[in-house]
Amino acid sequence: MSEYTKPLPKPSPTSRPFWDAAKRHQLMLQRCGACGQFIYYPRDRCPNCFADELKWQRASGLGKVYSYTVVHRASSRHFMEPYILAIVELDEGPKMTTNIVADPRAVHVDMPVAVYFDDVTPDRTLVKFKAA
């Protein structure tokens, strides 16, 4: 296997539980105990009501493609081959920047998707999606 050269997330103390869960192939989201909103990406306080009551909760891993693009020519030399960049709207509410692992011709807005954990390095797993 060739070396993985794309940018990798460097977890912060705030986000470490999210990436650790991804490595276990679990999608974990924060949920605010005060307003009930699910949160993505991880925060120190609820960005909605600003309460200090965020707790981790396992998410369904299901959602829909809110929008997408097939990147034929990336702005970074680390992404040479065409890839599908997307915003997925999770069933729990939050949107995520992610990749859809699929034939670009098959992707469309509103497409139902399910989480797919891509173990890109021994240490790091990215949270991507496939057709549900």
Partner 1 sequence: MSIKAKAAAIGIGELKPLKEPGDNTALGLMAKVTAEAIADAGLEKKDIDGFLVGVPFADPGFIYPASAAEVLGLHLKMLNQVDIGGASPAGMIWRAAAAIDAGMCNAVLCLVADLNRRGDQRPPTVSVMREFEAPYGNIGANCGYAMIAHRHMFEYSTKPEQMAKVAVDQRTNALKNPLATFNDKPLTISDVLNSRMIVDPLHIFEIVSPVSGGAAVIVASPEVAKRAKHPPVWLLGAGEYCNHSSITYAPSLTESPIKIAADSAFKMAGLKPKDMQLVCPYDCYTITVIVTLEDAGFCKKGQGGPFVAEHDLTYKGDFPCNTHGGQLSFGQPGLAGGMSHVTEMIRQLMGRGGERQVKNASLGYVNGNGGIMSEQVGLVMERRS
Contact residues: Zn ion, CB under 5 A: 32, 34-35, 46, 48-49, 51
Q: How far is the CB of 50 from partner 1 (least distance, A)?
A: 16
**Residues pairing with 115 in the sheet:** 129
**Would you give the binding string for partner 1 spanning residues 41-80, x where CB under 8 A is met?**
x------------------------xxxxxxxxxxxxxx-
Should residue 97 be labelled a site residue for partner 1 when binding is judged by CB under 8 A?
Answer: yes
- Structure token pair of residue 36: 């009930």
Which range of residues in 4-12, 25-33, 55-63 is near partner 1 by CB under 8 A?
4-12
Q: How far apart are CA 53 and CA 74, in angstroms?
A: 39
CA 109 to chain centre: 17
Phi, then psi, of 59 in degrees rounded to 5: -100, 165
